[in-house]
Amino acid sequence: MRNAVTELYARFSDSPNVDALLNSKWTLCCIMSGENRCKTSSYVTKTKTKDETMQEDAQSPYASPTAEVGGAAGDADDLYSAFLGPKNAGYYQAAFEKIRAGGGSMGWHWPACLITWFWLAYRKMWGWFFMYWLLYPFAIMLVAALAGMAHESLVFVVYFVGYFIIPPMYANALYYRHATNKIARAQYAGTDPQAQALEAARLGGTSNVVIIIIPAFVILIGILAAISIPAYQDYTIRAQVAEGLSLSGGVKAAVSEFYYDNGSAPNDNAEAGLADAMSISGKYTQSVAVDGGEIVITYGNQANQLINGEVLLLTPSDDDGTVVWTCGSPSIAPKHLPAACRR
């Protein structure tokens, strides 16, 4: 070792940066290894820019063996292997290599399609797990409530694509990004490669928690389904009933006007100056008819079977010269009626 230091000092004694050169362990290792490039007799002092120094270090076989997060340099591959664990490591290593090589982020991952929530939890992507399991369905229900029945098809398409198409298409890219972030965190565990690998293995791998939570999850899903499915069905039926009320707005105005002009209610649509009852219809409403002053809304077409063929009645009454309407139904369940019609 002393001879190597002496040789280093002798070779670069003319350089003004002798102390810096002596402190360079890579130059010292170069001399000790006997490389031909270290045996040149001449040395030209040159002030290097930071970029030149970084480029030279990157090209040198004696450069510091640092691991680039997300790259293939140094021991990054070892950290990825430690993170993935033994289960399906070959599949994910190939997928990660394709992404790093610029092969694109899109693909297809069957477990992420068929059992998305299970796969996310199994691979310890807890944030995405809760987002997929709770936040996304809640957001879809909120959008559906705000959009109303007029856009139910579009809402369903958005739900289906976001729930069953997007996750398997970008599952590998999502997992690669997750792994890269965790490996970067593992590198802060210290400079010891073994410590980094142990931390990467702790942060990655697979979780046995999902085996425990599956029964609880199934029970919870059953409870939520038992509550939410009937509640959502009631909501959709009420929305269909509300369509009939909306269509009756013009009919009520015509009946009221006839009453003010004649002091009595019209017997039918024609007498009230309205179109045929079957002409006043909608997606869930079959007809809106005037029958002795009373308005009869009949549901049909694409209406839910629970109200298909049933009627909603709007009955007028005179309250000090003002026509007041009361709605109700002899056959539609109160829970399916608008609040104003449940009295």
Render pLDDT for 145-170 as a digit per residue (tens, 0 to 9).
777 655 777 888 888 898 889 999 99
pLDDT more than 70, % of the chain:
76
Map out the domains of the chain as residue ranges: 2-59, 76-235, 240-341
pTM of the model: 0.45
Helix axes 2-11, 25-33, angle to 10 degrees: 100
Closest residue by Cα to residue 119 from 81, 91, 155 = 91
109 secondary structure, DSSP code: -
Phi, psi of 341 (to 5 degrees): -105, 5
Tell me the pLDDT of the chain averaged across its residues. 79
Q: Is the dihedral of CA 214, 220, 226, 232 positive or negative?
A: negative
Do residues 169 and 188 touch, judged by C-beta distance below 8 A? no
Phi, psi of 45 (to 5 degrees): -70, 130
Q: What is the average per-residue pLDDT within 31-53?
A: 42
Closest residue by Cα to residue 294 from 320, 261, 327 = 327
Query: Domain 240-341 belongs to what topology?
Result: Glycoprotein, Type 4 Pilin (3.30.700)
Q: Which residue in the block uniquely carries the two structure tokens 């944030």? A: 127
- pLDDT at 74 > cutoff 70: no
Report d(CA 118, CA 130) in Å as an integer: 11
CA 81 to centroid of chain Cα atoms: 27
Write out the two tokens for 3.
Answer: 């001879």
Q: What is the average per-residue pLDDT within 12-41?
A: 42
